[in-house]
Structure formats: C-alpha cells, structure tokens
Structure 1
Amino acid sequence: MAISSPIPYKSFLVIASFILLRSFSIAQNDSPVLGYSMKERVALNSLKANLDNPFLNKVWIGSHCFTNTSQWFGVRCNSNGLVIEIALENMGLKGDLRSNAFITFTELSVLSFKNNSLSGNLVIDFSFNRKLTLVDLSGNLFSGQIPISLVVIPVLEALFLQGNSLITGSIPAFNQSSLENFNVSNNNLCGPIPKTRALQSFGHDSYDGNPGLCGPPTSMACNSNGNDTAEHGDKTDHKSFLGSLLHIVKDYLYVIEFVFLIVIILLFVLYYNKSRKLKKMMNEYKERGEIKHEKSEDDQLVIAEVGGDQRSRPFGNNNLNTRPIGNNNLNTSGQERRKLVFVADNYGQGSNSTFEMSDLLKASAEGLGQGTFGNCYKAMMEGKPVVVVKRLRNLKPMTDEEFTKQLLQIANQKHPNLLPILAYYNNKDERLLLYKYVEKGNLFDRLHGKRGKGDRIPFRWGGRLNVARGVARAMECLHLNTNFLVPHGNLKSTNVLLDSDENALVSDYGLASLISVAAQRTVCYRSPEYQFAKRVSKKSDVWSYGCLLLELLTGKVGVYTAPPGVSGVDLCTWVHRAIREEWTAEIFDGEIAVNRRSAVPGMLRLLEIALHCVEKLPEKRPEMSEVVRQVEEIQFKDQSEDEDDLSLERSYTDDSISTIASGKAGDDHNRK
C-alpha cells in the first residue's frame, strides 16, 4: 500500500499560522457579537468586588459597553467596545488595587482614582497598558514604591501620585519625551532625583513634601558621596526593573510563549512583507520622535513661566534657560526691529494707551496657561494697560503677506460679544497676538471653579442664559461674515471670557485657519462628522455650541473641552442616556435647579436647542441664525423667591424632558 507524501513544510507553517492567528484573534476579541469584551467585563466585576462600594454595586450591572457607548459610571469605551478610560474620582473608595487589576485593558488610555481612600502596597502591573496617557492615583493612602512598569509606557503624558504614603525606594528614571505633567509631592520618597531630561524639566513643586529627596530640581543637596548614592540608586532601579520583568515573565509565561510561537511562524512565512513593514514603522517612529523632541524643548518655557512659581518675570529675563516672549534678536541694537501693528480702532486714547515692542519686552510676564494654538501670558507694563500676549505656534507655512491677510480678516470681525485682537507682531521667528486683559476670567472657571467651597458665588440661571445668548450672537456674526470653512473651530468654555458684567466674549475665533495641526487639537475636529467622514463645516461650530450649552445646563466638565489634566464627561452621550433611562431630574446643575418655578421652562427650551445642535448628522442641525432666534425667544423671569422654593415636584421637570425626548425621537423616525 502506497504511503501518501507528507504535507510540505511551508504549507504546514501557513496552516499553523492561520489557526494560531485565528485563535489569537478570537481570544483578543472574545465577544464581537455582544459589542464588548467579556474578559474586560470579568475584570471590572473583579474590581467592583474588591472595592465593595455601594454605589458601584448598584450601577455597575449589565453590559459595561456597547460598541462605542459606555454603560457604566466612570467607564468609557471605543468603537470596538473596549475600555479606554476608568475614572472613579472623589467617591470615598476604600480597599486596595490588585497587581493584575488592569492587565486585561490593553486599550486603556486614562486611569484615575484621585481623592479616594485606597490603600495597600502600590504593586500594580502596567506593562500591558501600553496606551496609557494619564495615570492619577493622587490623594489616597497607597504605600510602597512607584510601579517600575510605568517607566516603559511610551506615550505616558501625565502621572499624578501626590498625597500618598510612598516610602520604598527612590523615583524610577522616567525619561519619556511625551511626559508633560508629573507630581510625586507629599510622600516619603528618598534618594537623589534621577538626572533624566524628563524629570529635570519639572519644578520643585512636583517633588515637595519628600524630606528624603535630594538633588535638583529640589533645593536639598545630596551628601558628599552623592555621586555614589546616585550610582547606587541607578543600579537599584535597574535591578528593580529586571526583577519586575522576571516577575512578569514568570506570572504570564503562557502568554509570552504563545506570542513567541506566532512571531517565529510569521518570520518563516511572511519574512519579506514583515521586513518592509518594520522599515516603514521605523521611519515613522523617527519622525514622531523628532516632533516630540521639538515639543519638549518648546514646553520648557511653559514650565519655567507657568509652573509652580507664578511670580511675575520680565519677558526679556535671560535667567530663564529658554528664550523670552520677544526673540532675543529683537532686543539687539543694529538689527532691524519690526513694530507692533495695532488693528483695534477703539483700543484707547491718550499716551498711556500706546506702547511699542520695546515696552512689551520690558514688561513683567505672568503665565496664564497652555492653549491649543499657543501659550498665553499676562503682560504688565509700567503706566500702560494690561494686555494678554498669545505666542502662536505650529503655524502653517505661509508668507508674511498671507499671514497678514488671514489675520486682518479675523481682526475685521466686529461684535460686542467677540474679543477683538488689539495688535499683532509678525516676524519670521516670532508671531504674537495681543488682546485686552479680561479680569473676570473664562467661562470654564466660572462654571467649575471653587465648587464645594464657601466663597463660591453661585452661577444662576439668568447669568447662564445671558452667556448662551452672547455666544450665539457672536457665532452668528462669524458665520455670516467670514469665508472660513469653520469660522471658529475651537469653541469651548475656556475660550469664552466674561467681562465685568459677566457678558460673554468669544476668543480664539478663526485661528484654526492659521494653525497646521488644527485637525488634531481643535474641538470641531472631534465632531461626529469628522470621526466618521473626516470632514468639517460650519455645522461643526453648531455642534460645539450645543456642547457648550450642555455644559452650561449640567455644570459638568465636557470631555472634548476639558483642559489638560482634567477628566471630563461625554455630555452628549450622558444627557441622551439620562433622558432614555428617565433620571432626567439630575441633568440640570443644582445652582440653576433652585430657580425651578421661573427657570424650568427656559431650561427645558435651552436643552431642546442644545440637543438639536448636537445631532450626529450635520444636515439635521440648525443654522446659527436660527439658533440665535430660538435662544432670544427664551424668556427670563427674575423671581427671587424661587431660591427658597426647592419643594416643587420633580415630575414637572421629568415629564417635560420626556416629552422633548419622545418628540425628538418621533422627528427622527419621520425623517427616516
């Protein structure tokens, strides 16, 4: 009897690769039909059982995700139904976090348990969370050492561990170029601070409250054999790192063996194709590395002037290790100096209202923060008005004439609710915008600042309605009088300022037309139409305005407009869910809910307008002119007795919102 010939070796490898890849795909995407990962659900339930919090036990039930819709409080999911954020803050949580609590969440980018009462040894393994950008465990009772696995996360941007009891070992040698925020203050850490570029770029405030720490940036010098200590610390960190790796290999050996087998097979079967991909990836990594390197150098100025030391400094202070606001070549005699160009015709009268670039260079500077389009500074000149200087960055490649033409088109927009550009400075190395300083600050701080403190002045319904009207009028003016594809492009609460009478002044309008990275940073590029079709329009501004209205009504921080380091809520999803699940009485912020008798009709009408503005399909959203008309029709009745009338039945609010929701659902059905 003839014996059949064996299967060729190469064919066997192909078949084996297919089977293993298929099983690996099934293991990773274990519940594609359900719209969520069963492994992640098991891990979340394990976390819930470990924390044993009554609130979480009540609300963490059922499916935690459904595709890109988050079902559980504090949990956000992506379009594949995988968890990308776990944020459980200010909840009084107790217990500890197990070392393997988060290894299942491979897509996790945000993890925050700040201001709780969690304790135990901080031995969490983050080696599988390669996409983590923010970790905030501050304000707890953790002990032990900083997890060494955080050092190898390539995209880590913010790490907050302040206010714990970390006592073991020294600070690991963090050196990610992406790291922008770092704070380990008020612990019991000891030893010299590693002399990595990342850790040395932070101010002493990031390390205060650790009596055992020494060396820069702290003021505490290490002892005479500090070099030996530093070397010993480096060796200790190195040994700890190796020990952590060995621990991971030991605990997860089966995973490593499985991945190693796949790699070996792919090297035999797909060698040439894989090598080309690796070469392409290496080129991309090099380009990204150069961009991050440039960004970190530019951000040193922000750390120097906006960091822990908020004292005023002159713009031309050479004590800083970075260049001042005015490039140094502007302050050199014998070279050509360009002048400030004033564009506001009502800036002021008299000798004290005019100034030159030389006055600005000698002014005291106070950092106001890092904006999407550039850093902002408060400039205080002697005997001159206080101004805000915005230092533009990441500009599109354009000539001086093109820049001036675009800027003048922006500056020509005149409206009482638009913050005018006072002047600009245009040089090939430096481009600055000057604005009037608005002392009341921005809408974000007015809405969310000093919450829970006795000195907070409540932001009542009348004031919020006035802001909603002012912003709508400003946006209508921009939509009717500009040729930009998206007239504003970055409308959010931090870009709405409040004058002395708390009237709205919209800022940063039109700047998206000047910036080359607007698609990655501005609010309009996070609208539904860009996520699905990669396109934006004036209706993207309408969507941003709707999100702003939801923030005004709910008093919650929106996820798309939250400043760096602040966690936000997807307000569109949250409000729709509140209406769908009939806990609508909790939608409105408590500061405006006290005005129920006089304010409820207006609040409901403004909520209805907001829901129309945040429709997923742009063509279903109204024009800004129609939005202005609808907002202007809302009547405000000033009845002071409402502030004491908190006994009104919730059913009025709930039934009214339910009516809005059912009517809106009917409209959607008819359109289909």
Structure 2
Amino acid sequence: MLTGVAPMPLEFPTKWYGIRCISGRVSGILLEDLGLTGVVSSDAFTFFTELTILSFRNNSISGEVMNFSSNQKMREINLSGNKFQGQISQSLLSLNSLESLQLQENNFTGSIPEFNQPSLKVFNVSNNNLYGEIPKTHTLQQFGSDSYSNNPELRGLPISTVRKLSDTADTNTTSSQPQKSSSKTNTLGTIFLLFDVVGLIAVILLFILYFKKSRKLEKMLKKNDAEKGKEVSSVVEDDDDDEDDLEEVQEEQNKNINRIEVQRKEVAVVEEKGGLIFMEQQATFELDDLLKASAEGLGKGIFGNSYKAMIEGRPAIVVKRLRDLKPLSFEEFIKQLNIISELKHPNLLPLVAHYYSKEEKLLLYKFAEKGNLFNRIHGGRGNKDRIPFRWSARLSVARGVARALEYLHLNRKSQSIVPHGNLKSTNVLLDENDMVLVSDYGLTSLLAVPVAANRLVSYKSPEYQASKKLYKKSDVWSYGCLILELLTGRVQAHSAPPGTNGVDLSSWVHRAVREEWTAEIFDIEISVQRSSTPGMLKLLQIAMGCCDKSPEKRPEMTEVVREVESIKLVESEDEEDLSMDHSLTDESLSTSASGIMGDER
C-alpha cells in the first residue's frame, strides 16, 4: 500500500495500474475486483493532497476507514464489498466536495455521522452493522431506504421514503387522474348501462302485458253478453296478476339500484383511504398513520425490503415493499391479492392489507413476535443465552408447515403450478405462542419467470435444473429440504440467505449413511434426547422421500401430513449426552439407513 508520493515523470502517467495522475501528482486510485487483501493504515493517504477519486470496490481489504482530513479535493470514495470495520470516520464530514460515498457490504459498526454536504449525491451504507437513528440532516434524509437497508439495529425511515409513499398516495387520491378518472368513469358507465338494461327490460315486459291485454279485449267483443260478464271477471283477475308482475319488476329494479349504490360507496371508501386496502377486517389505521410510525428494518428478501412498523396503540405490522414484479395492471394486481387473501388456514400468515400505485406496491402482514425458523435453528449458536430448540418444538414446526402446504395443494383457488413456490426456513415464522405461520405463499404469480428462476426455491429443484419444468411436487421437495435443515441444524445451500454458506443436505445425509457416520446427522440439541430417536428417524425417512429426484416418486402432501402426524411425542425427554454413544449408528439407524440408501440415485 502506498503511504507517500514521489515525483512522477509526466511522460509516464499511466505506467502504474489503477493510478491516475495530474502534473505528477496522484489524483485517482482505482483498484477494483482484484482480490486484494491486507490492512490499510489510517494515515495511508495523508500526503495525497490532490486525490479526488478512491475505489477499492469488491476486494477483501480490512482495517478501519482511513483519515481523509488531508484530502480536501476528494469527490468519490468507494470502499464497498470489503471487510472494513469499526466506525465510519468523522474526517469524511470535512470533505466539502464529496459527491459519492459508498461503504455498503462491509462490517462497519456505530452510528452514521451527520453528513450534510450539499454536494453529496450518492450515499450507501447498506449491509453493515450500523445502529441508532438515521441522522435528520437534509442531505441524508434525501436518500431512499435502500441506502440504509440490512443494518438490523438502524432505526427510522428517511424522509424521502416517507415523502415518496405520501406523494404516491396523493397521486392516487388527487393528481393521478388517469387511473382514478378512468376508474370513476368506468364505474359511472357501468351504472348507466345497468339502468339502461333494467329500463329496457321493463319496457319489453310492459309491451308484452299490453299485447296480452289487447288480445283478451278482442276476444271479449266476439263473445255473447252472458259470456261477457265472465270474460270481464276473468280480465279483472288477469289485470291483478299483471299488476303483481309489474310490482316484481319494480322491486328487482330497486334491488339493482341498491346494489349499485353499495358498490359506489365501497369504491368511495377505498379512495378515501388513499389506496390502503384492508382485506377483511375493518380499517384500523390509514396510510398517514403508517407513514408516521416508527420503523425498524427487518432485512431484504427476494421481493424487496421489509420493515416493522409500530403504530401507536396498535399491534406491530410488517410492511413488505415489492420490487422487480412483472408488469401488472391495478386490476391484475388486485385479482392476485384477492386470491391470496382467500387462502385461510391457522398455519398461514394472513395478509392484512395492501397498497398499489405506479411507484409503490406494499403488502402488510401481522408481525410474528418470535421471528423466523432460520434464526431459531441457527441463531445464537455457542451463546450461553441461547434457548435449546428441542425435539417437541421441531416436530411441531414440521407438522404446522405440512398442514399449511397440504391446504395450499388442495385449494382450487391457487393460480400457480407450484402453490407455494418459495418454501424455506426464513419464510416459516413463529408468533408469540410459538404458532407456526408460513409466509410468502402465492406470490410466485407476481414474478416474471426469469426473475423467479433466479430467486425462488422451487426453481432449484432437480426437475427444473434438469428440464426447466416445475410440478406441484416441487413444493414437496422444498418441504423435504426444510425438514432436513430442521433435523440436522445445518444450513441448506439452495435456500441460504445472502452471505451464508450452506450444503446440499440431501446428498450430505446420503453420504453420512453410506460412510457410516450417521450419529452426526442430527443436531446436537436433539440428538441428546435418546427417547425421541425413533421419531427423529421416521421424520428423516419422510424428508428423504420428499427429496427424491423424481417428482413422481415423492409423496402427496396429504400422505406427508398423515405420516408426520403419526409420529408420537415421548413425554419424558432424556437429555443425556450421546456424543460418545455409538448405538445410534450401529443399531438405531440400521433399518432407516437401508431405507434411505434405497432411495439414493
């Protein structure tokens, strides 16, 4: 690493790779994507007073951010994609010409300095370990939430995000007349058309009645006087019947008018709420309440960033901001979400409300107090404060997920070949009562195939990798992989969060059986529960059957539920350490091992 500067021949200003020079002085250092390692000292650029651009993007450089007090001409700094740690240097606040600062994807801690340089147009500190409130300076508040995402302890939404949501709400209710005007025009057109149809039907019925009456009067004139009396009597009765028919027509017309009026009122309510549409329950808050709520970033998923919004006096809500959706009109979007909202099961996380505009699409869900299954399995390992995840709780998860998936597979309202499509441990949640809630179901229909193929779990299945085809039983494969993660305590490769390494658990279990180190299959937190071993073995066999490479040989979810439900939970849980007991390998697994090996291909 350069720590000083020597006079450089003007005729050879580009001899050094990645170094830019002006009048023999270093003005730019661009060393990107080179796999560089090592530590940069804090005073490394003290003598580079002409330095305007510095980029170490996508290397493995570590150390704390350098002192830039001597680099007053600095305009661009890009340290993203490295291993820098510690706090963000306060010396950056003195750079009045700074236009771009990119520090994302490092290990920075502490709070964000109060940057307020008017020149700063690009700013990103996402994917670090920063904490505290986002400073309220004008400069920092102009950047969107993506500049701050994936800092779990960082609080508050930047004003630009709040303003953007507010503006889109105003656009929906006032100035975005192309959508609303056309919607109102279509509604009025429908009303007038219904009136025309009802009126036309009434005229036709009156004409028919008049024609019948005239025919009867003609018959009356041809009859004799004696019969006339009877005819008159008959006509009076017929007239009474005709009047009844007219009354029925009028009553039906009134009903149609009432229905139209109700529809008009419902549309007015939606418009009044500024586009925040609640699925079933009465609206308990409005978009303005959501924008004013304190927010906490929960991370970035395949559909976009999620936030925990805490509205005063109400339960917490999760706001999921959707990104990279396929082109959908308002009507198509609403149709898909209505289908999702009609899927109701105790083990499915219900959709509370949604919001649609050209710029923003939001989904609102109930907040699950105890987080997701991935964190429950893998979080806090080696920490004395971790609560062991025992067999009874894991079996409860396996049952809950199986029931939810069975419901989705049997429900005819599902519009997708794969009813869930993205089943993984981060999409299985636990509420305050440890109730299992499966999330992100039904959303595959919102994504274009190229995006889905790159992000969704079902597209990692053996059948899609081999033939680019999906089946309903691709979900069954995902369930089997989830159960293997639940049993082994190891991270599944195809569903691992960004930055986390995993293994192909199906292949790993087969290898463990083949090489006879099966005692290491089960997570240590459950392997110590000797009395529960038969249940663990049965669940392992079920999981391996679900992971069969051939979709036709995988069981239906109804069969999976039946098998999982049949596993008996032993009341007394023996927690004796089995780390030195090889009976698990030699005897307990002998039958199961042969069954698992029989499924291997």
- Residues 449, 664 of structure 1: alpha-carbon distance in 2 compared, 3 angstrom cutoff: closer
The partner residue of 1:220 within 91, 94, 102 is: 91
1:48-127 aligned at under 5 Å gives the runs: none
* 1:310 maps onto 2:117 in alignment: no
* 1:592 maps onto 2:526 in alignment: yes
Structure 2 residue aligned with 1:497: 429
2-side partners of 1:330 and 1:431: how far apart? 11
Partner SS, residue 319 of structure 2: strand
Structure 1 residue aligned with 2:41: 167
* 1:330 maps onto 2:207 in alignment: no
Partner SS, residue 275 of structure 2: coil
Structure 1 residue aligned with 2:557: 624
1:326, distance to aligned residue in structure 2 (A):
1.6
Structure 2 residue aligned with 1:209: 86
Partner SS, residue 475 of structure 2: helix
1-side partners of 2:386 and 2:547: how far apart? 30
The partner residue of 2:316 within 363, 386, 391 is: 386
Aligned partners of 1:418 and 1:507 also within 8 Å = yes
Partner SS, residue 165 of structure 2: coil
Q: Describe the superposition over 1:271-324 as per-residue Cα deviations: whole angstroms up to 9, x where unpaired.
A: xxxxxxxxxxxxxxxxxxxxxxx9x9999745544354834325xx43x5x676
The partner residue of 1:567 within 501, 509, 523 is: 501
* 1:659 maps onto 2:591 in alignment: yes
1:518, distance to aligned residue in structure 2 (A):
1.0
Unaligned 5+ runs, structure 2: 1-17, 19-28, 46-50, 101-121, 128-142, 177-270
2-side partners of 1:223 and 1:382: how far apart? 39
The partner residue of 1:340 within 276, 282, 289 is: 276
1:334, distance to aligned residue in structure 2 (A):
4.7
TM-score normalised by L of structure 1: 0.57
Partner SS, residue 153 of structure 2: coil
Structure 1 residue aligned with 2:359: 429
Partner SS, residue 474 of structure 2: helix
Aligned partners of 2:399 and 2:564 also within 8 Å = yes
- Residues 610, 324 of structure 1: alpha-carbon distance in 2 compared, 3 angstrom cutoff: farther
* 1:475 maps onto 2:352 in alignment: no
1:218, distance to aligned residue in structure 2 (A):
3.4
Structure 1 residue aligned with 2:567: 634
Structure 2 residue aligned with 1:151: 32
Unaligned 5+ runs, structure 1: 1-126, 128-147, 211-216, 231-293
- Residues 478, 389 of structure 1: alpha-carbon distance in 2 compared, 3 angstrom cutoff: same
Aligned partners of 1:305 and 1:366 also within 8 Å = no
The partner residue of 2:485 within 551, 559, 570 is: 551
2-side partners of 1:612 and 1:650: how far apart? 25
Q: Describe the superposition over 1:467-497 as per-residue Cα deviations: whole angstroms up to 9, x where unpaired.
A: 0000000000111112410111111100000
1:343, distance to aligned residue in structure 2 (A):
1.0
Q: Which amino acid aligns with 1:419?
A: L
The partner residue of 1:533 within 467, 483, 486 is: 467
- Residues 209, 424 of structure 1: alpha-carbon distance in 2 compared, 3 angstrom cutoff: closer
Structure 2 residue aligned with 1:363: 293
1:225-264 aligned at under 5 Å gives the runs: none
- Residues 648, 601 of structure 1: alpha-carbon distance in 2 compared, 3 angstrom cutoff: farther
Aligned partners of 1:471 and 1:506 also within 8 Å = yes
The partner residue of 1:442 within 372, 382, 394 is: 372
Structure 1 residue aligned with 2:442: 510
1:207, distance to aligned residue in structure 2 (A):
4.9
Q: Describe the superposition over 1:253-288 as per-residue Cα deviations: whole angstroms up to 9, x where unpaired.
A: xxxxxxxxxxxxxxxxxxxxxxxxxxxxxxxxxxxx
1-side partners of 2:305 and 2:532: how far apart? 39
Partner SS, residue 385 of structure 1: coil
- Residues 174, 165 of structure 1: alpha-carbon distance in 2 compared, 3 angstrom cutoff: closer
2-side partners of 1:630 and 1:620: how far apart? 16
Q: Which amino acid aligns with 2:153?
A: Q
Partner SS, residue 403 of structure 2: helix
2-side partners of 1:206 and 1:449: how far apart? 22
TM-score normalised by L of structure 2: 0.64
Partner SS, residue 428 of structure 1: coil
Q: Which amino acid aligns with 2:547?
A: V
The partner residue of 1:420 within 347, 350, 370 is: 350
Q: Which amino acid aligns with 1:167?
A: S
Aligned partners of 1:185 and 1:207 also within 8 Å = yes
Partner SS, residue 377 of structure 1: strand
* 1:463 maps onto 2:463 in alignment: no
Structure 2 residue aligned with 1:581: 515
1:638, distance to aligned residue in structure 2 (A):
1.9
1:564, distance to aligned residue in structure 2 (A):
1.0
Count of residue correspondences: 425
CA RMSD of aligned residues (A): 3.6
Q: Return the structure number with greater relative CO, CA threshold 8 A, min gap 6.
A: 2
Aligned partners of 1:422 and 1:434 also within 8 Å = yes
Structure 1 residue aligned with 2:267: none
Q: Which amino acid aligns with 1:388?
A: V
- Residues 312, 298 of structure 1: alpha-carbon distance in 2 compared, 3 angstrom cutoff: closer
Aligned partners of 2:326 and 2:447 also within 8 Å = yes
Runs of 4+ more than 6 Å apart: 296-300
1:175, distance to aligned residue in structure 2 (A):
7.4
2-side partners of 1:298 and 1:566: how far apart? 17
Structure 2 residue aligned with 1:49: none
- Residues 438, 195 of structure 1: alpha-carbon distance in 2 compared, 3 angstrom cutoff: farther
1-side partners of 2:383 and 2:292: how far apart? 38
